[in-house]
A and B are shown apart, each in its own frame.
Chain A
């Protein structure tokens, strides 16, 4: 169908996008790899030369790395569980015949449009501040001691904020999937005497499996790189209690000006993301082909 000429044209038209993305992917990555084997500090210009594996030993050997890795997994896992379970519940609820569905959708989707630093600051000051936050008032109302969330439960507090931002996304996608389930199928199941639990287990859940997989994939991509929420609330602390891998690299490379060690951390972050991506792509690929 396509002649040689149109094929050549198609390649030309694709070229800018492919070339630009290729450069964007390869050049900085190679530089990160190069820096990670160098002694390179912006504070101490005398320190130069090949470092071997020293930067990696320094970054991975430091206890902060293990903690950041564990924090990253807890953060991603925690937010995924909250948003998938909560999103499924909300989608089922919004799919019921209720009054004001249009307005409800708008209310529920809104947190997704709130930029991360605003979301974090609203929660930090308006809600979680022990002195004048809403939760503090609520605790006092019930005669309880207000909780200093970011000092006592730093990672949990970050998870709450991030889950609040991503719950609308999961809900919206799952709701869209739910609404494409045919009415006949549901009614048939109902006529056959399937109760609500069985209808959910055998009809609705299998139908939503694909959408759930997609939500997991897309959220994981974004959640691995959570940064602003940590930057404006806890600053990674206390200690390293709420530092994830992304924030650790920023801390080492930019805040401490240790380019070599920061780059080594960056390479590790890329490797982790790739491991996750391979698993996810495989799982999603299976689900998408079906």
Chain B
């Protein structure tokens, strides 16, 4: 089988899984829907490996395989095929997406076990994986937009999966609308590219671009910025980020899969995919780098004060994606994608651990109520800590190498990029601090009642309530499931977390400075046209970077240790002393309030203005009223003549007749 056939198989498996789980939901017994869905994703993963093996057989310069199934839409000067592109970048993304998705499917088999919407959940999950794979395999911009929007739709469905929660549905609509804004950006960008290059296929556009556009050509910069709108909306970068923290309303495995490991990194993939455009439009690339850096700093700062466990990880995700965006924007494609991969491992792991803890807390997510789970949940504790270490960039963990490679490349570009790199290191310090803030607050300290109960051998069962608002949950239909699951007592959850923990530790070996450059080498055919192909920081610089990173990471973990283990009250003191800062951070820099005042409320006002004033006064009053007024005036005149007075009619008749006679007399004379 050829690589492209494998590529199609990658897409076919999740569709089959989707069809089986969605059409057979009534007939599938027990947990079989989950296993069928997982098997489908495993099939995708194996097919992706097949594509990889087959592609490696081709010589390096021929590793861009396009295969078209049929013409999607062709008219006038537009031609779009339903085609996939197999190249190292897409295969790499397929492997990461399908691999992590498979593990999260397995985790979900147990985690979502008691939920009434079990089959529906796996149908959505398969739909998501299909969309994501379509997104990365698409060979042209239109198909990319299709995958892009499908991913957004699947994300919407999964965020509002527990659709009886008002908070969940509100979060869903927010995420969906933000994503649609991104879609529209991509549509306009696609048009600009089409009108200048006459193509929509990636390879065609990239080939034509250097001739069609000058360096920093206005149209191209506009197109790139619009692509960035799409990328930022999906990847939760400033200023389109506000949906991501709210997206934590979804089930925890969803947060792990979509809102950490795969979907939100689509923006990074897109920037990397469009690198020939961004290198022609360095202004756009610089804007992207700045936005990425700003996001990573802002998100890390918010993560310091948030107390909802899942939302801390969500802000951490935004911040880490900021690193990736920075990486691919400064032409460190290998480094950015490397961080994408390691982040997928450790962030999925962190969410899985958080899910386990939330299970033990019977659904509560507030860290203020947690503590001392170390003894009760040894497996979760170990894996979560591994994830936190990788996130913090602790020496020799996977995140250590990838984050520092991004920063090393950034600093190597010199000039203004130096500032970005320094901000990156600053945020790295914050990252390590909040990562261990979570570890220390959840697993250390005095065990809470739930932890003690678990030590005695049973999982706590609290009143079902909405973790965000605290209002009691509507459980008559079993959303979310009445029972809770922790990793310690569930085979599938352990089976999913263990490999991820291993990968979070050793995932860095694919690109250790001075030793290995497997990933870089593998991705080379995609990025060999890059102007920055040969520029890389020297090994010495990278090693210095690693040392700085290690020092920052260890120091920050130490500070967290001091503040949360040695002198527990100090955080409260700090909060009281810097109230303004704290409230600024805990209001998430007031973005929600800003959008509410800037868009949501004006929209609602415009809507009710339209309904109340324009509809009633203008349309009904002026247009309808005006025309009916004329008709009414006419009819009332006609009615006035119809007196009902017979002799009046007769008189009119006679007068009319006399008039006619007179007319003829005058006319004939």
A and B part of one assembly: no
